[in-house]
Amino acid sequence: MNFLKRFSVLSVMMLVAVTMMAQELPKVYILATGGTIAGSGSSATKSNYSAGQVAIGTLLDAVPAINDVAYVEGEQVVNIGSQDMSDDVWLVLAKRVNELIASQKVNGIVITHGTDTMEETAFFLSLVTDSNIPIVLVGAMRPSTAISADGPVNLYNAVVTAASPASMGRGVLVCMNGKVYGAADVTKTNTTSVETFQSPNSGALGYIHNGEVFYYHAPDRVGRKFVDHVHEGTLFNEVRTPYFNIDGLKSLPKVGIAYGYSSVEGDVVDMMIDKHYKGIVYAGVGNGNIHKNVFPELEKARKDGIIVVRSSRVPTGATTLDAEVDDNKYEFVASWGLNPQKARILLMLALTKTDDWKTIQKYFNNY
Ligand code: SIN
């Protein structure tokens, strides 16, 4: 065998070996949507940059170690700053996630996303997907061109998390700054720090160390199992984590958020009534309390058939049922542990099934 022949036989053998190794690794599919992780700036040290500039292939090329963890493929769904996230993009993204789940060809899914609305997309996906495989959202606080860009390590950790059997059955996850959080509880708490994501009421679910994910606990709200719990003498026995089938949906009902503050007036609520919103979330003060200037407008909204959900602008704790506000009397719904932006999502999806406020309250009782 001359040198050339021997060389080509060797190359074919190496290619076969590499392909076999790749096939043994878990398959992780990446859906890219943009954000700062795909951002680029003109300076490595200054904070001005544009989100959603760099394609997923370039991000992956920056982290070759990912190929030791999983066989990774991916596609660009959109390339936007997540401040521009919309119900339309959510529906496209969620349908694609559901296709990948149905194909049974992937062990995990990673979604690269801007951090501004990551918690909303994670929560939306947690309500419209029904699978045990890990679905992991990841982003970055610093653009890819910055010194100490956090995107590469976050992306690596997200792939580790999505590829790990330990992540199965934990619902939709957010993986940022070395920690893993559950979709219902996680929120962005700092405008610029890499340590921005927290679950203030329940803490992180786990962490990643040296290419391995470790869990402290499972998110309580995952599993759609029947769970008994008693609150103020009432026994709640319901399926946890509601699931909404979005297959035939082309749009979501219009739901808005009105923010509570001292001297607030009812103008925003009036506008929502005039514009035929189907639901209003009131981001109240304290335990979802409503200013006397706004209360009559919210009562009017309810009488017009609009579902009114009380949530809170306070970052921790739950907005509890029948506290200072008699929800039963006014037919208002309490958001429990959901912040206003997540309450809006559950209300939109609930309204695709029912406009009965008592049934909608039951969905919220799961949080
Ligand atoms: C965005 O949410 O797209 C911009 C901010 C970020 O990703 O950190």
Pocket test for ligand 1, best of 47, 79, 83 (most atoms within 8 A of CB): 83
**Domain ranges, residue 203:** 23-235
pLDDT of 331 reads: 98
| CB-ligand 1 contact for 141 (6 Å cutoff) | yes
Q: Of 5-9, 45-49, 227-231, where does the model show the most confidence? A: 45-49
Same domain, 225 and 259: no
Mean pLDDT rounded to a whole number for the chain: 90
* Count of beta carbons in the 10 Å neighbourhood of residue 189: 13
Number of domains comprising the chain: 2
Phi, psi for residue 218 in degrees, rounded to 5 = -95, 150
When pLDDT is cut at 50, 70 and 90, the band that residue 7 belongs to is very low
Residues 105-144 as b or e (16 or more Cβ within 10 Å = b): ebbbbbbbbbbbbbbbbbbbbbbbbebebbbbbbbbbbbb
| CB-ligand 1 contact for 116 (6 Å cutoff) | yes
Tell me which of 111-125, 221-235, 246-260, 327-341 is least confident: 221-235
Q: Which of 36, 117, 121, 241 is catalytic?
A: 36
pLDDT of 217 reads: 87
Same domain, 178 and 298: no
CATH number (domain holding residue 123): 3.40.50.1170
> 33 lies in a domain?
yes
pLDDT of 210 reads: 96
pTM of the predicted protein model? 0.90
Q: Whose CA is nearest to atom 7 of ligand 1?
A: 114
**Does residue 36 have an active-site annotation?**
yes
| CB-ligand 1 contact for 120 (6 Å cutoff) | no
User: How close is the Cα of 54 to the center of ligand 1, in Å?
Assistant: 13
CA distance 318 to 232: 14
| CB-ligand 1 contact for 53 (6 Å cutoff) | no
Same domain, 289 and 222: no
| CB-ligand 1 contact for 121 (6 Å cutoff) | no
CA distance 327 to 121: 29
DSSP state of 324: S
